[in-house]
Structure 1
Amino acid sequence: MTGPSAAAPPRGGAIALLCRALMLAGGATLLATALLTVASVLRRWLLGQPIPGDFELVQAGSGLAVFGFLAFGTLRRANILVDTFTGWLPATLCRGIDAFWNLVWAAAAALLAWRMALGALDALRSDTRSMVLSMPLWWAIGLGALALLATALAALRCALRPGEKA
């Protein structure tokens, strides 16, 4: 098989490398939250008490994992496509429509990244912390903003290269 397959990793480039790193970090984070959940349930079962703050760590970890997967999924064009109305159109026109919607997605992700970055700065300035562990929250919000920025870059790359699979 000579062409790119759905299972192939993205080709080189800084955007692809960043998307892949975020995806791997998201997977590791999701695995860590699953292990934390198992440990907390076992501790509750054996000792009658969960790991303190387990739900805070699972909330942050799950959210960061999802953000980590967004950029890679965008780059791989692994989003849900509904082509009921465009399936009969010429391939060139379909690529143009896809490029337009990738530009819209890039703009939306960039806007969300900007607002989350401002939220991270605000959380840092106000020293916003979680309730049980008193864990600072700015870093998690900032990592989410970084992942959304990477998603915007991936969508922009897809818009500029509409026929290419990453």
Structure 2
Amino acid sequence: MAPTRHGAIPRLATVLMLAGSALLLATALLATASILLRWFTGQPIPGDFELVQIGSGLAVFGFLAHGTLMRANILVDSFTGWLPARINEAVDAGWNILWAVITALLAWRMALGAADAWFSGTRSMVLGVAQWWAIALGSLCFAATALAAFWTAWHQWKGSPAGAPQA
């Protein structure tokens, strides 16, 4: 049974995943354009590597919550595969709670990093792009992932379809 997609948290995860997908496509197009310009004119797009670094990082952050809800992470059930399904769900719920705590801590620390980058005026080297906003968006994506992990754990614990593994 596939996880349910109803509710604010799954909708947020889907929006972040779609935004991450669009951003990853944009960075691929930027890198391609820069390489083509380098071939034909000898000059790349200035700061292309900075924009690709920022865009790729944010894209990955955008996928985390959706991957958590879809249980598209690496599952190791070598030691628990023989247990009844209900016990496996409870074990998975426990790991999702741990994942939620870790991502919540990462969100908190990145929020502090974003504030520090804001106050210090940290900018990229070539284009001089402010860094705080990218760090803040990463923090929000980690916070959304924490919510998704708690949401998944809750449904796994209750034994409802949202906690069911992907087929």
Q: Which runs of 4+ in 1 moved over 4 A?
A: none
Aligned alpha-carbon RMSD (Å): 1.2
Tell me the percent identity. 65
Secondary structure of the corresponding residue to residue 34 of structure 1: helix
Unpaired runs of 5+ in structure 1? none
Residues 19-38 of structure 1 aligned to structure 2 (within 5 Å): 19-38=13-32
- The residue aligned with 2:35 is 41
- The residue aligned with 2:107 is 113
Contact conserved, 1:77 with 1:165, CA < 8 A, in 2?
A: no
Q: TM-score, normalized by length of structure 1?
A: 0.93
- Distance in 2 (alpha carbons) for counterparts of 1:96 and 1:144: 29
- Distance in 2 (alpha carbons) for counterparts of 1:48 and 1:92: 61
- The offset of 1:118, in angstroms, is 0.5
Contact conserved, 1:75 with 1:154, CA < 8 A, in 2?
A: yes
- The offset of 1:11, in angstroms, is 1.4
- The residue aligned with 1:102 is 96
Which of 48, 61, 83 is residue 54 of structure 1 equivalent to?
48
- The offset of 1:165, in angstroms, is 3.2
Deviations 1:28-58 (A, max 9, x none): 0000000000100011011101000000000
- The residue aligned with 1:165 is 162
- The residue aligned with 2:2 is 4
- Distance in 2 (alpha carbons) for counterparts of 1:27 and 1:87: 33
How many residue pairs match? The answer is 160
- The residue aligned with 1:68 is 62
- The offset of 1:4, in angstroms, is 3.4
